[in-house]
Structure 1
Amino acid sequence: MKKLINATETILTESLDGFVSAHRDILVVGDEHKFVRRASLKPGKVALISGGGSGHEPLHGGFVGLGMLDAACPGQVFTSPTPDQMLAAAEAVDSGAGTLFIVKNYEGDVMNFEMAAEMATGEVMTVLTDDDVAVETSTFSTGRRGVAGTLFVEKVLGAAAEEGLDLAALKALGDRANAATRSMGVALTSCTVPAAGTPTFELGEGEMEMGVGIHGEPGRRRVPLTSASEIAEEMVTAIADDFGDKARGEAFVLLNGFGGTPLMELYLMFNAAQQLLGRRGITVSRCLVGNYVTSLEMAGCSLTVTLLDDELTRLWDAPVHTPALRWGV
């Protein structure tokens, strides 16, 4: 294992200290590194909180700031944050309008956020993201996994919360955004969790994992490596088939890198996916290409497609100022 670390037991706290220091105009870190939060909170606004295991950066801490999250709770690498982290974050950013948890559908995350919601004194609601079409039930989830589509949900909810939408309306909007979103990923290599020191799984030189999860969980099948166009075809087909008759009109597309894939290859994949979607009557009117929901140094990518309407488009375009996303301000 070759990594830029001092010790596996301090990698998270040292990384968080550097992250917050680099973005001190936007962020502060909570006591005992339990969470990061916006440096400037907006009174009377519903508080938006997410979180999950570290190793997926910039998710979720990179999306804390104006127009997105109020706080994010980082667990150890690929490990859910604890209920006391979530409770501390809620207490730190709750301004009296209630709190909305945005939770990826992994059993540890779901259980711990539920416990935190039960312990919280204010009103709490939850939006569960489950955009991964690769498998119906995986190693760490009952039902579909929440993956890169979580970014879109956090962005539109953040914009709506800034506008003053109340807790129940935000919950409904989040569920609707999630229902309009589908994702699928492919891995070309494994990644190495620092505490483990060995690759999470083994792939042969000529193999890839189709439908992989963001922790390296198994996907649909392990297959011989093929061309980018054929990989894009399988991902687009899986997503479009899952949408069914709704698969048409304008869409947001995220071509997301898992941390170890050059941008040249990500843009190539985006080009292939955009052409394939166009042939199916889906027009890419909003997009992101880059490393946004990573899996440490895994090589590979995921494709996320959200079918847009006027409200979702407007909320996506709304101003945002976070470490990872900035426009309109």
Structure 2
Amino acid sequence: MKKLINNPQTVVAESLRGFGRAHADLVRVNEDPIYVVRADAPRQGKVGLVSGGGSGHEPLHAGYVGPGMLDAAVPGAVFTSPTPEPIFEATKAVDGGAGVLHIVKNYTGDVLNFETAAELAEAEDITVRSVVVNDDVAVEDSLYTAGRRGVAGTVLVEKIAGAAAERGDDLDAVTAVAQKVIDNVRSMGVALTPCTVPHAGKPSFELGEDEIEIGIGIHGEPGRHRVPMASADEITDQLLAPVLEDLKLAAGAPVLLFVNGMGGTPLSELYLVYNHARDVLEGRGLTVSRSLVGNYITSLEMQGASVTVLRLDEDLTALWDAPVNTPALRRGL
């Protein structure tokens, strides 16, 4: 294992310390318990947005803390849910009197720990709502979940719900917008290589020299099947087909096309995937009106990609276009 680390047990704490120092204009890092909040938190009268989960998926979630997106992010150990205490403390830290929305990826530990934190917050008269992101069409149940996993669609939920909160929507409205995105977004991923968790010191799974895993999870969970390595277009077809089958988009529908890298894939390859995915969508009479390409939710150094499609309408498009200023996503400033 070759990684730029000092001690496998302190990777998250040291990394977050550096993250906070690099982006002090946007965020504050609380070290005990660990969580990240907007530099100007709490914002009075504004709905607070809190998300989080295991580290190793950077820039998700801490990279999306800032105006127009999250108010706080709670990182756990690598590929491990944060415990209820830091989630609760982060919730308190961003409560501006308008309530707090928890955005939770559908992994059993995340769901249970966010539920407990919400109960603790409610006991202190903080109104909390929760949405659970489950956009992965690969499998219904896995090592980590009951039901579909939450993957790259989480980025879109955080951006669009964050814009709704920033414009002053109340808690019920922000929750409804977040749920609307969840209901209309689907993803599918592929791994070309495994990744290595620092404290484990060895790859989290094995792939043959000429094998790829279709439908991989962001922690290396098994997908639908292993197949021989193929061309970029052929792999993209295998990712996109179940996404489109599930969404059942009508001809002419506007969509957002998001091609995400798993951490070890060059942008040049991601744009190959995007190029063919767009051809397929437009060939079906769909309108790709918004796009996102890059490493936005990763799996350490895994080589691979995911394809996400979000059905858009006028309101979701306007919220996607709204200004955002975070360490990992900035536009419209």
TM value normalised by structure 2:
0.97
Runs of 4 or more above 3 Å deviation: 245-248
* DSSP-derived class of the 2:193 partner: coil
The alignment status of 1:243 with 2:247, answered yes or no, reads: yes
User: 1:278-289 maps to which residues of 2 (within 5 A)?
Assistant: 278-289=282-293
The alignment status of 1:151 with 2:155, answered yes or no, reads: yes
The alignment status of 1:102 with 2:106, answered yes or no, reads: no
Instruction: Specify the code of the residue in structure 2 equivalent to 1:60.
Output: H
State whether residues 185 and 212 of structure 1, in contact with CA within 8 Å, keep that contact through their aligned partners in structure 2: yes
- Specify every segment of 5 or more residues in structure 1 that has no aligned partner in the other structure, as ranges: none
State whether residues 69 and 158 of structure 2, in contact with CA within 8 Å, keep that contact through their aligned partners in structure 1: yes
State whether residues 236 and 277 of structure 1, in contact with CA within 8 Å, keep that contact through their aligned partners in structure 2: no
CA deviations on 1:113-162 (whole Å, 9 max, x unpaired) are: 00001111211000110000011111100000000000001001100001
1:136 equivalent among 123, 136, 140: 140
Root mean square deviation of aligned Cα: 0.9
Instruction: Tell me how far 1:247 sits from its aligned partner.
Output: 6.7
Q: Distance in 2 between matches of 1:231 and 1:282?
A: 20
CA deviations on 1:56-114 (whole Å, 9 max, x unpaired) are: 00000000000000000000000000100100101111011111000000000000000
User: 1:1-329 maps to which residues of 2 (within 5 A)?
Assistant: 1-41=1-41, 42-120=43-121, 121=124, 122-246=126-250, 248-329=252-333
Instruction: Specify the code of the residue in structure 2 equivalent to 1:215.
Output: H
Instruction: Tell me how far 1:31 sits from its aligned partner.
Output: 3.9
TM value normalised by structure 1:
0.98
Instruction: Tell me how far 1:49 sits from its aligned partner.
Output: 0.1
**Distance 1:5-1:172 versus aligned 2 partners, 3 A rule:** same
Instruction: Tell me how far 1:236 sits from its aligned partner.
Output: 1.4
Instruction: Tell me how far 1:244 sits from its aligned partner.
Output: 2.0
Q: Distance in 1 between matches of 2:277 and 2:174?
A: 31
Q: Tell me how many residue pairs correspond in the alignment.
A: 329
- Specify every segment of 5 or more residues in structure 2 that has no aligned partner in the other structure, as ranges: none
Q: Distance in 2 between matches of 1:307 and 1:231?
A: 22
Instruction: Specify the code of the residue in structure 2 equivalent to 1:72.
Output: A
Q: Distance in 1 between matches of 2:251 and 2:39?
A: 40
CA deviations on 1:242-291 (whole Å, 9 max, x unpaired) are: 11254751111110000000111011111011101111122211111110
**Distance 1:246-1:52 versus aligned 2 partners, 3 A rule:** farther
Deviates more, 1:246-255 or 1:149-158: 246-255
CA deviations on 1:194-229 (whole Å, 9 max, x unpaired) are: 010000000011000000000000000011111111
* DSSP-derived class of the 2:8 partner: coil
Deviates more, 1:47-56 or 1:31-40: 31-40
Instruction: Specify the code of the residue in structure 1 equivalent to 2:150.
Output: G
CA deviations on 1:283-324 (whole Å, 9 max, x unpaired) are: 211111110000000000000100100000000000000001
Instruction: Specify the code of the residue in structure 2 equivalent to 1:28.
Output: R
